[in-house]
Chain A
Amino acid sequence: DVKVTQSSRYLVKRTGEKVFLECVQDMDHENMFWYRQDPGLGLRLIYFSYDVKMKEKGDIPEGYSVSREKKERFSLILESASTNQTSMYLCASRMTGTGSNQPQHFGDGTRLSIL
């Protein structure tokens, strides 16, 4: 089974801090994703990476950056945390395949609170 591991289940930080959320997958997947999940809004894509050192902006990249130095690890960075970034953050990975039918596999999420 695919295992996607997020480093923290719960995290509390202060406004203005630099915050790192880490995600590791063990299936040699090329593609990795960061989403945030908010009530009534579903999942919104922040950034994704289709291979090592590659990154692309998703739908809501403002206030975030990412790093993918190794294939198995994808980090989300909040450069200067703000209260509107309080949310559940979900990491996912996916194998590259023909067509669009490869599913994404998700971690358990990090619930981040910015005070």
Chain B
Amino acid sequence: GNSVTQMEGPVTLSEEAFLTINCTYTATGYPSLFWYVQYPGEGLQLLLKATKADDKGSNKGFEATYRKETTSFHLEKGSVQVSDSAVYFCALSRPGSARQLTFGSGTQLTVLP
């Protein structure tokens, strides 16, 4: 079936450090891939997306590239800020049932000043 595996957290970084959160997926067909972010006390917000192989999604300094050969969609940011502290979720839309998303378990990021 379809599944998303995310890097286990929590992750703690100092401000201005480089961030990578790993995400790999299993799916039949060609899913779209998403990163969502959840700030404390809030719902999920779309951070970025990619809809086909080799697409790069980017937003607010975050980037992720859709790698079909490695079935991965790793999230990166060159220099994190305290305000980036949140939970990050990788997700895929299920081929053949485009309305539904399959989520990873989430990765808690804490950035220290």
Q: Which residues of A contact B (CB under 8 A)?
A: 4, 31, 33, 40-45, 48, 50, 58, 90, 92, 94, 96, 99-109
Contact (Cβ within 8 A) B100 A58: yes
Cα A44 to Cα B94 with chains together (Å): 14
Q: Residues of B at under 8 Å CB distance from A?
A: 31-32, 34, 36, 41-46, 49, 51, 89, 93-95, 98-101, 103-106
Cα separation A96 to B100 with both chains bound (whole Å): 11
Residues of chain B within 8 A of A4, CB atoms compared: 43
List of B residues within 8 angstroms of A92 by Cβ? 44
Q: What is the bound-complex CA distance between A4 and B45, given in angstroms?
A: 11
B contacts with A: majority SS: strand
Q: Measured between C-beta atoms, what is the minimum distance from A22 to chain B in Å?
A: 15
B42 contacts across to A, CB distance below 8 A: 108-109
User: In the assembly, what is the distance between CA of A109 and CA of B31, in Å?
Assistant: 26
Residues of chain A contacted by B32 (CB below 8 angstroms): 99-101
Interface hub of B32, B99, B101 (most chain A Cβ within 10 A): B99
A100 with B43, Cβ < 8 A, contacts A40-B105, A42-B105 known: no
A90 touches B104 (CB 8 A): no
Instruction: Determine whether the beta carbon of A50 is less than 8 Å from that of B99.
Output: yes
Of A94, A102, A103, A109, the residue contacting B43 (CB under 8 A) is: A109
Contact A43 B51 (CB under 8 A): no
Looking at the assembled complex, report how far the CB atom of B95 sits from the nearest CB atom of chain A, in whole angstroms. Answer: 7
Whether A45 and B44, one on each chain, are in contact in the complex, defined by CB atoms closer than 8 angstroms, is: no
List 4 A-B pairs, minimum CB-CB distance, nearest first. A100-B98, A100-B93, A106-B43, A42-B105
